[in-house]
Structure 1
Amino acid sequence: MLYKFKSQAAAEVIMLQPDAETLLKIIGKSPAPQGIVTVDQVPAAVAALHKAIEAQEAAANAPAADKSDDETDTSGGVSLRSRAGPFIELLEKSAAAGKDVVWGV
């Protein structure tokens, strides 16, 4: 399933379900088929995303000896910063224009 995030202030952002649900959980939203991030909620959402990005990058930069086998990521996957970047940009542009961000509508 795809999530399509829309705003009247910026181009839509389309994400695969697992990635979108991860971002929604980070910002405190239920990964529901439909939802909204209001203009008032954007600052907290952006702050939560930046905090999660910093935490992931700190964990990735920690010495390998500090990580258990389960925590060691050798897949070279896409970082949270890369996945969240377009969504953060959409949130910021929408807030600047005074518009909400919706999905599934």
Structure 2
Amino acid sequence: MIITFRSKAAGEVIMLGEHAKPLLELAGKAVGDTLEKRGVFTPEQLPDAIARIERALNAEKDPNFDEDDPAQAARAAQYVGLRQRAFPLLDLLRRSEQKKVNVTWES
């Protein structure tokens, strides 16, 4: 499933559902086992959502890969952490907060 986040403050952010779901949960949206087809962050919800994601990013520890081990070096080359996945959405949320506009998503 593809999730598209939209805001009048910036362009669209498109993510796979499997990557969007944990970020929505971190931002305070209860998504449960299945992701809703549509949702919204209101301007009033944005400061808390941003703070929650930032706290999770600050607590995240990237794995230490042994670059001398070929198997671990290959895993390191393909590793994408929460920080990288969250950046586009977090940027959209911040811009939307500044302009006091909604952020919507739909699948």
TM-score (structure 1 length as normaliser): 0.80
1:18-55, CA deviations, whole angstroms, 9 ceiling, x for partnerless residues?
10001011112123111001111111111111111111
Which residue of structure 2 lines up, in the alignment, with residue 71 of structure 1?
A: none
The aligned amino acid for 1:40 is E
Which residue of structure 2 lines up, in the alignment, with residue 12 of structure 1?
A: 12
- Count of aligned pairs: 92
Q: Which moved more, 1:5-14 or 1:74-83?
A: 74-83
Task: Please list every run of 5 or more consecutive structure 1 residues that lacks an aligned counterpart in the other structure.
Answer: 62-73
Partners of 2:63 and 2:37 lie apart in 1 by 31
1:60-96, CA deviations, whole angstroms, 9 ceiling, x for partnerless residues?
47xxxxxxxxxxxx64321111110010110011111
Identical positions, percent: 38
Task: Please list every run of 5 or more consecutive structure 2 residues that lacks an aligned counterpart in the other structure.
Answer: 65-71
Q: Which moved more, 1:75-84 or 1:4-13?
A: 75-84
Partner secondary structure for residue 32 of structure 1: coil
